[in-house]
Structure 1
């Protein structure tokens, strides 16, 4: 079932809602949408879980306003979805940019109604290097990416698709992956990347109290594995699950392992 949910006056986001049981709310990576998780839907529904996939504002079928691509606003959109669907006992699952957005959600709204946190290839705690943080992208690298998006977005998405995965993918798969990115607004992609460049959730990690699993590819070229180790060290009650043969797109590089670890985490009473 699909829902269009108004998150603020004149702005609706699209939400896929499939299955029954405990809700697992997925926050997708830049610059894709909830279809990126299509291979997780079946295993979740078959194991008694409810897939909730949000297309963040600016992406997929959602509206694409000029404003609102900071982490605070996107976390507020998630809160509006949770409230509209009256979700409880939610597993909040953030992938890449969805990771720091999920962390910001907990920082702003607490963990009432949230039972677990799953961070997948998370662009956190800081996507970019800082004076006191040596991991992640250089600010100049992000600025170059923004420039390339503005100059030739289809070409940049083609290059991004080839970098995203460690395991070889068919031309048809890469074309599908690129098509997900082309559904995004060009301005949405740029404004979100600016947020990724500027935002920093390091100070919000030690307040996370829900059981947390960190899934991360050892060969991730977008968000280096060192980011996952930083998250593990800073988040109480967290466990790090490495994916040794995966790049950034670990749910497609090692799908069987990913789904098995996902179901194991969801069913576990403790991490």
Structure 2
């Protein structure tokens, strides 16, 4: 049952932006999945990062994607933010959230995307339901299998801190040693927290940190099945990353050069774990160009 929106219709009216659009809900599987939809056109469904909820996407990035002619759909996973149900960081459960949302909205020919942990969700989605998606957009995530470079302890220590601060945000997601990156972090942070009403509650830090290792694991995503699926998929895949990602180093994608036949890589200089928040318009334009100019290979 779909609450608050007719089936498959875009939620956002003309002129509505990411920081003003209303939250809507899909009722499926005994829980309500909270989502927001901005723009009209081909649907892009974005799964969030660890501890991410609806209001922790930079609205400038969402609006820039919508301006490229897409319906951009973001959502809260079960039991997190404004969604009900059982809370879990189990990737299969999170993939089910994405599938139930897409099916509940009646979306077809979808671009599946995800940032960080959400990128793992998107990769599993491609492996399981590749026939129903046209493209995959991965942002600062990790590939399956053994890594050539692990993340830094600094990320884990900083992520365990309580209420969000600008300094924490800059350390986790930008390049603190670069003045332009720090300035971009401040602008992004202010945009994210500009919305004062109807915000999606943040994921409790104590619960979240209990779900993950306290130091960088290797591998993070130990799935040979997903790796094999990516090696044999015909779904075009784009990965956007920063050149100094202290969480999920982009070098791990370059190590798979020649093994993933549909993988496209873009790396931003002097950037960290959120290049799409540092360069929202550029990232949106590059994602749009990728989607418009690549197609699934014929079997």
Under TM normalisation by the shorter chain, which class is it?
Answer: 0.7 to 0.9
Q: What SS does the aligned partner of 2:290 have?
A: helix
More helix by share: 1
Q: Larger deviation: 116-125 or 157-166? A: 157-166
Give the unaligned 5+ runs of structure 1.
127-131
- Residue 27 (structure 2) pairs with residue 6 (structure 1): yes
- Residue number among 187, 191, 214 corresponding to 2:239 in the alignment: 214
Partner of 1:19: 39
- Residue 284 (structure 2) pairs with residue 259 (structure 1): yes
- Residue 223 (structure 2) pairs with residue 201 (structure 1): yes
Q: Are the aligned partners of 2:53 and 2:201 in contact in 1 as well (CA < 8 Å)? A: no
Q: What SS does the aligned partner of 1:12 have?
A: strand
Q: Deviations over 1:11-34 (max 9, x none)?
A: 322111122211011112122223
- Residue 136 (structure 2) pairs with residue 117 (structure 1): yes
Partner of 1:153: 162
> TM-score, normalized by length of structure 2?
0.73
**Distance change in 2, residues 1:172/1:45 (3 Å):** closer
**Aligned pairs, how many?**
258
1:14-163 alignment, distance < 5 Å: 14-35=34-55, 36-63=57-84, 65=86, 67-107=87-127, 109-125=128-144, 133-137=147-151, 141=153, 145=157, 149=160, 152-154=161-163, 159-163=168-172
Partner of 1:190: 209
Partner of 2:178: none
Q: Considering only CA atoms, is the larger Rg found in Structure 1 or Structure 2?
A: 2
C-alpha RMSD of the superposition = 3.3
**1:56 Cα offset (Å):** 2.1
Q: Are the aligned partners of 2:38 and 2:63 in contact in 1 as well (CA < 8 Å)? A: no
Give the unaligned 5+ runs of structure 2.
1-10, 12-22, 176-180
> TM-score, normalized by length of structure 1?
0.80
**Distance change in 2, residues 1:265/1:187 (3 Å):** same
Q: Distance in 2 between matches of 1:165 and 1:79?
A: 31
**Distance change in 2, residues 1:63/1:161 (3 Å):** farther
